[in-house]
Amino acid sequence: MKKIQLIASILSLFCGSLYAQKIVPPLSMDTLARVGSSVITERDLIERIELMPWEGKEKPKQYDSSKIKALNSLVAERLLAIEGKHLNIGTDEISEIKIRGMEKMFVRDELFKHEVKQKVTVSENEIRNGLAKFAWQLHIAAIAVQSRSSGDSLVKMLQKNISLAKIFTSIRPNYITAVETVQVNFGGLDTLFENAVYAIGKKKFSRPFISDTYGWTVAALLDRGTNPVYEKMNAGDRRIRVDEVIRQKKETIAARRYFTKIMSPQKAKIDSALFFSVEKALRTILVEDSSRHRSKGFYAIMTEDVDLLLTTFRSDLQRSFVELSERPLLLGEAIEATRNLRFGFPSLDENAFIRALNVHFRTVIESELMSREGYRQNLQYSENVQHDLQSWSNYFTSRYLMWRVNDSVTVSNDELLLGVRSSIPSIGSLYEVNIQEVLCDSLTTAMKVLEEYSRGSSLSQLAKTYSKRAEWKECGGVSQFIPLNRYSNISCRAFLADTGTMVGPIKTDEGYSLFKVIGKKNNGDVNIPSTDSVIINIKNNLLGRKRARSMSIYVSDLAKNYTVDIRYEKLPSVTIQPANMFTRRMIGFGGIITATPILYPNWEWMKEYRNAEKILP
């Protein structure tokens, strides 16, 4: 079979870490709750609501109650996760591929910590030199030249005090390839350039040097002033900032070296038939809704696209996709890896798309190989990896079980009718129905009318003959448009029925009503929803409340079946930063993920649980 050769290349390297803690009994001092055989610690709670949005934590009056609600919600999640695992939820092939993909990512991140982050140090001398640079903001003329000798020629002119203006406008040497005025602050991406310009002495120009941005360069100092960021910081914050900048740069260099060491002996071959099948499916997804996928000049792969690809290729997920030295990378593993590597395509043109996808899958292979090195070092058993993986596994399993429970909850027609009636105070005058009714004196008469109508009798004639509703009788039972708050017993039913359908017989205070729905409308206000929309809204509100109630009862029952011990008295000592923010976590050796799973608000179950305890004999 034809293969596409993929050669490893150096990736942009990202560093990131998140605190983690192994969750094992017996109870530790920071334990907030025991759920079954597992515990919830202070750190678990802090991770889930400090790094992600959580309602109430930013409001002083709700601060304490928000922590209680969060802890109850975390207990609910753990209960659902335990039950879900007993029910074998999340054990299907695609779910296992997803969890395995997360484990690989956490292993790769742990490898970065072990081989890069923990080995980087910053000396006191480096801090002092960094502070000296941080204090100044420089305005530089970056002059790109063809070679070192060209740079030497330019420096000789500058040494003779020939102005830059004269050099650029009059002399105009042909070895100058570009000139750019730049503002330089400590901590820029081009370290070589930064080091050279901060070393410029009294002569105000540098010797020729190689820059990542411009190649061979001569830098001329145009102006020098105090860095405004530096001025706003105190001495301690300045030191922290400098340490962070130096550390990150050294980590990047160390990561590149380690990455090259692992990648250099590696080779990989991709199955071309599967590659082009995935390319076609993915490009179709992006083309069909290109505007939604367009972001910052690229067409991005979204997480739902990955889910769709996994479903589309369900029968091929275990097929070998990439040949590697130890074992092949399976198609399902390769597709899942795209979820957190943030791929984008500059064009949806077929040839350009194929080229970009080839590069993206090369990155997938590189990430896989770095993860395998982490597994070789048994980093999958580390506290950090186990904690992170368990946190996400509990989240996914609990959500899957929640969806299953919620899917079993429905709203009946009678419940929807009650919902519309309860909404009459707010919508009764905004919506109208037009019906053709026969109001009968008895059920027997109503059934007789219905039988005659089914045989072809005119409803208008039947209304004139049998209806007790005098105000509509002469019009053949036609009500014209009436608001829902009038004759609500029948108007609400008409509002829910499809136009053209017969409804009834319905028992009312006046008798038995049998009617046909002629029309429905709002009162003409363009700012209110359509009739169909308001019905959907009412039904969804009812469904939401019913599901919430059902979930509370379900979790409460789980709490009775499993050992639950919540230590609310420890919450006052738990400090949560009040700012609401959405935090992302950068993964070492590439990748990005939500810092922690978003905690689903699920605390109402505690009321059910306590009420049940009160009525126990």
Work out the average pLDDT over 78-107. 95
Cα 17 from Cα 593, distance rounded (Å): 11
H runs (alpha helix) in 343-412: 350-376, 383-407
pLDDT classification of 343: cutoffs 50, 70, 90: confident
pLDDT at position 435 over 80: yes
Work out the average pLDDT over 309-320. 97
Q: Is residue 77 part of a domain?
A: yes
Q: Is residue 265 part of a domain?
A: yes
Using DSSP's 3-state secondary structure scheme, residue 153 falls into helix
pLDDT classification of 425: cutoffs 50, 70, 90: very high
Q: Which two tokens stand for residue 72?
A: 């109850």
pLDDT classification of 617: cutoffs 50, 70, 90: very low
Q: Is residue 236 part of a domain?
A: no
pLDDT at 281: 97
Q: Is residue 125 part of a domain?
A: no
- Work out the mean pLDDT of the chain and round it to a whole number: 90
Displacement of CA 308 from its chain's centroid (Å): 16
Residue where the block lists tokens 């290729």: 313
pLDDT at position 5 over 90: no
Last residue of a domain, one of 470, 505, 527: 527
Q: What percentage of the chain carries pLDDT values higher than 90?
A: 83
Same domain assignment for residues 313 and 396? yes
Same domain assignment for residues 445 and 566? no
User: What letter represents residue 258's amino acid?
Assistant: Y
pLDDT at 11: 31
Work out the average pLDDT over 69-91. 95
Same domain assignment for residues 385 and 466? no
Range of the domain at 143: 136-226
Same domain assignment for residues 508 and 483? yes
Cα 305 from Cα 339, distance rounded (Å): 9
- Give kind and range of the element (H or E) at residue 124: helix 124-134
Last residue of a domain, one of 527, 561, 583: 527
List Cβ neighbours of 419 (8 Å cut-off, separation of 6 or more): 411, 538, 539, 541, 542
**pTM of structure:** 0.82
Same domain assignment for residues 408 and 436? no
Same domain assignment for residues 36 and 83? yes
Q: What angle do CA 340, 343, 347 make, to 5 degrees?
A: 160
Which residue in 345, 337, 389, 339 sits closest to 367, CA to CA?
337
**E-state strands within 386-508:** 431-440, 482-483, 502-507
Same domain assignment for residues 91 and 149? no
Contact 273/319 with Cβ under 8 angstroms?
no
Q: Which two tokens stand for residue 347?
A: 């064009």
Same domain assignment for residues 372 and 499? no
pLDDT classification of 375: cutoffs 50, 70, 90: very high
pLDDT at position 23 over 50: no
pLDDT classification of 613: cutoffs 50, 70, 90: low
Which residue in 315, 360, 314 sits closest to 340, CA to CA?
360
Q: Is residue 240 part of a domain?
A: no
Same domain assignment for residues 148 and 181? yes
Q: Which two tokens stand for residue 462?
A: 């039947």
Phi, psi of 501 (to 5 degrees): -90, 155
Contact 385/110 with Cβ under 8 angstroms?
yes
pLDDT classification of 309: cutoffs 50, 70, 90: very high
Cα 469 from Cα 542, distance rounded (Å): 34
pLDDT digits (tens, 9 = 90+) for 548-580: 999 999 999 999 999 899 999 999 999 998 888
pLDDT at position 334 over 50: yes
Same domain assignment for residues 56 and 140? no
Same domain assignment for residues 258 and 366? yes
pLDDT at position 13 over 70: no
Last residue of a domain, one of 475, 510, 527: 527
pLDDT at 21: 30
Domain count, the chain: 3
CATH code of the domain containing 469: 3.10.50.40
Q: Is residue 238 part of a domain?
A: no
Displacement of CA 72 from its chain's centroid (Å): 23
Max distance between CA atoms of the chain, in angstroms, equals 117
User: What letter represents residue 322's amino acid?
Assistant: V
Which residue in 313, 307, 319 sits closest to 271, CA to CA?
319
pLDDT digits (tens, 9 = 90+) for 175-198: 999 999 999 999 887 889 999 999
Same domain assignment for residues 278 and 342? yes
Cα 383 from Cα 81, distance rounded (Å): 20
pLDDT digits (tens, 9 = 90+) for 481-532: 999 998 988 999 999 999 999 998 999 999 999 999 999 998 878 788 889 9
Q: Is residue 151 part of a domain?
A: yes
First to last CA, the chain: 73
Q: Which of left, alpha, beta for 337 (phi over 0: left; psi -120 to 50: alpha)? A: alpha
Q: Is residue 314 part of a domain?
A: yes
